[in-house]
Structure 1
Amino acid sequence: MEKDLTQEQKYILAKKRVEKISKFYKHLATYVIVNSFLSAIFIVGDMNDGDTFMEAFSNYHNYKIWFFWGIGIAFQALNTFGLSLFMNKDWEQKKIQKYMDEQNYRR
């Protein structure tokens, strides 16, 4: 059973949703800026230890923080946008149509 919401309630819910999305994008921007800065520091540190630029740049240890913080970003994205970000009804309809077309093509 769906409740009828007043305009004020709808406004409050919409405002909270927008704030949540805004918070996610701010976190994403912080993620990119901070990790870029840290990776640059790690690369310069490796170069000071005698590595060439390409050795330091390709050292995966300099990017581990991207991965681990990225897991947190992924969970926040799922919390903010839900699974519908990836598998919404439109996606389902496209997949159904694709498989139907494949079946017709095989005949």
Structure 2
Amino acid sequence: MTDDESYRKAKEKVAELRGFYSHLAAYICVNLMLISINLLTYSGYYWFLWVTFFWGLAVLGHAWRVFGHSKIMGDEWEEKKIREYMEKDKK
């Protein structure tokens, strides 16, 4: 891998991390605001829980894509599969 390729990959990973942390910060700030609104205007129903839950699932999915996905189907896995298919085609 050349230095340019390494730099490009590192830059992509940093952009993914920045996107995730921005998403997480928005999740925390908006949910704190929604919790405050719901508790201050309490009508007997905690509607903020729905937003927190489903948006939380989206944040977990984003985290999986940025952090966990690379362990299972990351670059190493992809390279291994490419080599396997290339070897298979040679036969």
The TM-score with structure 1 as length reference comes to 0.59
C-alpha root-mean-square deviation of aligned residues, in Å?
Answer: 1.6
Whole-Å separation in 1 of the counterparts to 2:24 and 2:47: 21
Whole-Å separation in 2 of the counterparts to 1:9 and 1:60: 49
| Equivalent position SS for 1:31 | helix
Tell me which of 74, 96, 101 is aligned to 2:60: 74
* Corresponding position of 1:11: 7
Find out whether 1:24 has 2:10 as its counterpart. no
Runs of 4+ off more than 6 Å: none
Whole-Å separation in 2 of the counterparts to 1:60 and 1:82: 32
> For each residue in 1:39-91, what CA deviation from the matched residue of structure 2 results, as whole angstroms up to 9, or x when unmatched?
11111111xx5x6xxxxxxx54332211110000000000001254xxxxxxx
- Provide the identity percentage: 33
**Count of aligned positions:** 70
Structure 1, unpaired ranges of 5+: 52-58, 85-107
Find out whether 1:61 has 2:47 as its counterpart. yes
Structure 2, unpaired ranges of 5+: 72-91
Whole-Å separation in 2 of the counterparts to 1:17 and 1:11: 10
What residue identity is the alignment partner of 2:20? F
Q: How does 1:37-52 map to 2 (within 5 A)?
A: 37-46=33-42, 49=43
Which one has the largest radius of gyration? 1
